């Protein structure tokens, strides 16, 4: 069973519709007992890092998420929460990836970053591409909506996007995966990313 985490925020409706389209068996829950028994977990994200982490803490989900051994996908804010800390209200996050999530410089570019943008694979010979991008052409366009961005952290950054400067738009660490864009709002190519996640083998 796929569990889409309900933490009183997040784009649950669109994510659910995308999973229904893919004929995936899923449930929406914020119950730690349900999440801990999931075959794979999706953490969607809309809103602030502080509010999200407070909600996850109140629901008893932080340690559950940190201890997951099944495939996990963080979307948008869900990707950002994988890192150690967010500059948004100086919020401690899940700490599964090293680094700090920072805000775009509104004196240089329009914030938030909204719209279609490209994802590039990092050209590192020792780094295999993300399984999420299997069958996805290089420089494909996806839909973004965010004001904060993840750092480029080797070897965990497996896709990057340029907006003012380069930031991490696809990350992975063992069973944990994250995308900064919204696959559920990115048309057929976004659905392909979600399908790839559904096919990730549990370790």
Tokens of 49: 């890092």
13-19 contacts at long range (C-beta below 8 A, 24 or more positions apart): 14/182, 14/184, 14/185, 15/42, 15/44, 15/75, 15/184, 17/184, 18/183, 18/184, 18/190, 18/191, 18/194, 19/194
Q: Is 184 a catalytic residue?
A: yes
| Euclidean distance between CA atoms 59 and 55, whole angstroms | 6
Question: Could you tell me if 109 and 166 are in contact, meaning their C-beta atoms sit under 8 angstroms apart?
Answer: no
Q: Which two tokens stand for residue 128?
A: 């295999």
Reading the block at residue 191, the tokens are: 């659905």
Catalytic: 113?
A: no
- 175 touches 72 (CB < 8 A): yes
Marked catalytic residue, from 113, 146, 177, 182 = 182
Per the CB < 8 A criterion, the answer to whether 191 and 143 are in contact is: no
Catalytic residue among 88, 93, 177, 184: 184
Is 76 marked active-site?
A: yes
- Contacts of residue 201, defined as CB under 8 A and 6 or more positions apart, other chains included, come to 71
| Active-site annotation holder among 76, 88, 93, 113 | 76
> Catalytic amino acids?
76, 182, 184
């Amino acid at each position: 069973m796929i569990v889409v985490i309900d933490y009183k925020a997040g784009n649950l409706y669109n994510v659910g519709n995308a999973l229904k389209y893919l004929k995936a068996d899923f449930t929406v829950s914020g119950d730690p007992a349900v999440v801990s028994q999931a075959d794979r977990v999706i953490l969607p994200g809309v809103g602030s890092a502080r509010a999200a982490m407070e909600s996850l803490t109140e629901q008893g989900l932080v340690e559950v998420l940190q201890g997951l051994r099944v495939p996990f996908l963080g979307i948008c804010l869900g990707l950002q929460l994988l890192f150690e800390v967010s500059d948004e209200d100086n919020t401690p996050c899940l700490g599964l990836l090293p680094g700090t999530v920072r805000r775009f410089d509104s004196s240089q570019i329009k914030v938030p970053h909204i719209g279609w943008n490209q994802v590039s694979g990092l050209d590192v010979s020792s780094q295999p591409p993300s399984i999420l991008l299997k069958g996805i052409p290089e420089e494909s366009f996806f839909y973004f909506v965010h004001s904060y961005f993840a750092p480029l952290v080797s070897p965990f950054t497996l896709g990057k996007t340029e907006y003012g400067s380069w930031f991490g738009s696809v990350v992975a660490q063992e069973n944990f995966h994250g995308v900064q864009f919204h696959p559920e709002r990115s048309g057929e190519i976004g659905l392909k990313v979600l399908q790839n996640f559904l096919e990730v083998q549990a370790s």
